[in-house]
Amino acid sequence: MHVAIRHPAGRLSAPGSGPSIRRASAEAANASDASLAARQAARVERRTVDVVDCVLDVIEEINLSELAEQAQEALVGEWLLWLDDAVAGPVPVPVRNAGTATALHDALLDWQDELFDDLLPSRAAHQEADRECFAGDGAW
pLDDT tens per residue across span 55-88: 888 888 877 776 666 666 677 788 888 888 888 7
Report d(CA 117, CA 30) in Å as an integer. 27
127 or 136: which carries more pLDDT confidence? 127
Q: Residue range 28-50: average pLDDT?
A: 81
Answer yes or no: is pLDDT of 26 > 80: yes
Give pLDDT, residue 93.
Answer: 92
pTM for the complete prediction? 0.59
Answer yes or no: is pLDDT of 100 > 60: yes
Asked whether the CA dihedral 111, 117, 119, 120 is positive or negative, the reply is: positive
81 or 125: which carries more pLDDT confidence? 81
Give pLDDT, residue 71.
Answer: 63
Average pLDDT, the chain: 76
Give pLDDT, residue 129.
Answer: 66
Answer yes or no: is pLDDT of 104 > 80: yes
Answer yes or no: is pLDDT of 13 > 60: no
Report d(CA 14, CA 115) in Å as an integer. 51
Terminal Cα distance for the chain, rounded: 68
Q: Residue range 11-23: average pLDDT?
A: 67
- The answer to whether 74 touches 45, Cβ cutoff 8 Å, is no
